[in-house]
Structure 1
Amino acid sequence: MTLTHMMKNKKHVAAVGVGIILVVLILSKTIGTAQADKNDATITAPTTQTVELLDLTTLRGAEQTIATTGEVESLEQVELRSEVFGKISYVGVPLGAEVYPGQTIASLSNGDLAAQRAQAEADVERAIVTKEQFQAQYDAGVANHEKIRISAENAVASALAALDTAKNNVRQNESNTNSEIVREAYEDMIPTLQGANAAIGSILQTSDNLLGVDSNLANQSFKDLLSILDITRKSQAELSYKQTKQALQTSRATMDVLSDIPDTAVIDATLPLGSITQTILDAQRASIHAGSTSINATQTNVNTAKQAIATAKKSLSQFQIAYEKAQRDYIDSQAQATADIQASAAQIQQLEANIRSQETQITRARATVRGINASIGKTIVRSPIRGTVAVLPAKAGEIAQTGALIASIVNTNGMQIKTYVDSESLAGIHVGNVAYNNDTPIGTITHVAPSIDPATKKVEVLVALNEAGRSRFVIGQFADIDLVQSLKPVEDTAESLLIPLTAVRIEPTKRTVFVLNEDMVVEERDVVINRIVGDKIEVTAGLEELDAILLSTRGVELGEVVTIAQ
């Protein structure tokens, strides 16, 4: 059984240590005397090194803590500052008053803003009314557009029906009634013309027998006596004969020259002289009269036939004119319909643009109202939390600059201490660990910052205060606290202790601590270390069976006999 197993507390260890020292001194003196007698010389006893022991049993029962200082603050604390420049017209709470969320703390004058809001709201209403008017116009325009479309379609359909009718009339007249009338008129005219040709040929023969134009011998006995009273009559008759003959031969303008056929003027200008008796003149005159009568009748028949043809052609021409007009009307109706529909559509598009523009005006007007409301809201300072008015520098009638402090509200039901810990001491500081003040638990750790604060070069730690802490401190106070370090073992069954770095000897191949056996001789025990925490090191294995170890391995050698410091 080693000496370390007999040490239960420091007093016990000290007592045992004194006894052992006395025993060691007596033994040393006896051995020294015997050796002196043997060598016949007196030798002084060697001096032993004094060491300190670390009581692991006490260390296991005690909590490891880190001492630090922090500032007490509210979990909910707000500073209410003026967002605008203006005169403070109202302060609604006194210093120290309890306030609720949304309660008005103070307000600044905002009469001009209220007037602006009224004007802006009126602008919104006007814009809405104008939009409703445009909407009504748009609805009427859509309805009218539909009417225009239907009317245009009907007009085009009517024009198309008229065109179809005119086309059918032309087609029917070209192939049926009127075209037959024209053909019949031409067919009726053919025998009339043939009769006229025969009559003309007959009278030409009679005239030639009288004039002797083609038959020189026909009038040998009296040709010198013809038209003796007016020789020009004979010349005119001969010219008329030749023209009529030419017209008959070419079958052109027959009726136009009928009036030029020789008449009784030549006979009337001839006297019954010589071989021309009155009987011959009368016979010639009768023959010419008969031919003229026949010619006149034929001319009447030809004129009648020409009139019939003209009438038939006119009827057909009227249908063609009606068809052409129907074509123009149809084209015009299409163009008019397209123009009317396009004009109506353009009007609707304009109304739509007016509505969109008015919607934009409404949006802008409402945005103006919201902006003014926001500005008015900035003149009213309200508490966002439930708490106590801790600071109230605002006074009615004073001018508040933008950013000026109006009030500070704190929630005293929730308090915390904000402190900073060196990164070297951060190991074992976890959320949920207890914090002490003068051995009294005053709260638990609620937050450990994941990074170093650039201002303090330390890690921020927040401790939420319990009832004892809240009754012990006030907001704004600086407090000394101890933060418990809880070491998480590597394995669930392993023991983890923080011991001074001096207690562990670290060599390239092993990590050891020193213990004393019953003879006060230094021995070593292998241990497993995890991490260094400040001036301590975490040992996760090797100390389970030990009650005490040397506080420092420096200057101590294995196998050395030592004494325990008092």
Structure 2
Amino acid sequence: MSLLLVAVVAVAAVGSRLAVQNSGGSSDSAKRVNLIAVKDYGKSGSFVFGDGSVESLEQAELRSQISAQVSKINVSVGDKVSKDQALVNFQNADFLAQLGQVQAGLDAQESRLAEMRKGVRAEDLNITKTELDKANQGLGNIYSNTPNLLSDAYSKSEDAVRKQLDQFFTNDEELNPQLTFLVSDAQTKIDVETGRLGASAELNKWRVELSAVTSTSTQSDFDKLITNSKAHVAFIKSFLDRTSDAIRYETGLSQTAVDGFRLTLGVAKGEANGAATSISAQEQAISAQKLVIQGIKNQLQLKEAGYTSDQIASQEALVQQSLESVNALRAQVAKTVIRSPIDGVVAAIPARVGELSSPGQLVVSVVNKDWLKVKSFVSASDVSLVEEGADAVIGDNIAGKVNRVAPSIDPGTKKVQVDVIVSDPKTSNLVVGQNVAVKIAAKQIAGSGASFLLPLQAVKISSDGAFVYLVENGMLSERPVQLGAVNGEFVEVKSGISADMSIVSPVYELKTGEKVSVNQ
């Protein structure tokens, strides 16, 4: 027997159990068999079968570029969206405030440059002096709000440590605070309990510093108080982060208790973050106003002294520097709005209003349903019958064409990926992510001139050769055939059958001359 017939026999033996099921009852009754039309297995009529999922050829997974809280979601899953449409907004009040301040600085610098180029007049000097007075007054107003702002930041930080985390510790305000739950990592336990002691010390020191503020406190005093307040909050935030590790290493708590601790710690972190943000915003507001004042002073000095070409060039450099700061903040503000880069449909919105989004976190997905493909997989033994450009049928009757055949086997599925483009996505009713079956027109076998590619299970192999079964007068009769190459689950038949025949498939456990009944 040839090597080819041995291979066919090996594959055919797999279906013996199916043949027993087809045989029906006892040997005295007619076995029930199935017929297939040979015409359906001509070289142009055979298929390769696969399965896969629907994907969009154009889709976008939009991720956050900043750490900010989601303030508004403008769309729902399934909504049609246009390119550049705003989908999700993050809180941006701080960015806008900073942008306004820096923009004001730029306007002042540009105004100065224009005046320098025009030359100086007496009335210009008086106007500049008035601007300087107003700018100094503005700085004083900002500083006057500092005690209230820092007191609010202190209250938030104190609430985070002494109220929200009260259930985490015993002996909270004593020299030996203890966690109320067991922690498997000893160093984490030591760090957290030491951190709780330190947090109280920071709060106590902060309170003393705030109480020292008087009506005679100078701007320099406030600058030092802001710097110290930032350090206090930084310590408390570090302590809260380390407390998160303690929850991660806890032992003995129920899941409900763990969830409760995490929720409470999240509230505490939110308060500490809020305190840090408000202090930072105040510091930036002061810095921005000081830049404005310095700019006006420089302007006044230049006007009083007259302007040289070098001075004008220096002012141009300041304008450029301010412009770069404005553009950087505008870029940050732009990142607070997630816009669709394509026309399409909203596929998913993992984000939720009020949640804190981190850089790189998925916020919303958009797909273009007008361009779909099926990422399908076919048996490695069948891939030789698949070629790019071949017609395909997706599901029952959706037309498609093979766009790409992977050059290697997918390590996950152990099959070969074949991408099929959907010919008319608008009328297909396919949904992105949907699992579908794919039928691909098999390519012709080169060289042999074979007329048919039959399923292996339709061919019987014996020591005398290969043949197929026909049903004649309720009995099985054999028809010898000449076989060619095996291609996956099909075998090339070079001669012995014609397109007008119907043959039995599968043929396992059947014998010539047996009485059979054809399944309808």
Which category describes the TM-score, using the shorter chain as reference length? Answer: 0.3 to 0.5
Q: Which TM-score applies when normalising by structure 2?
A: 0.42
Q: Which TM-score applies when normalising by structure 1?
A: 0.39
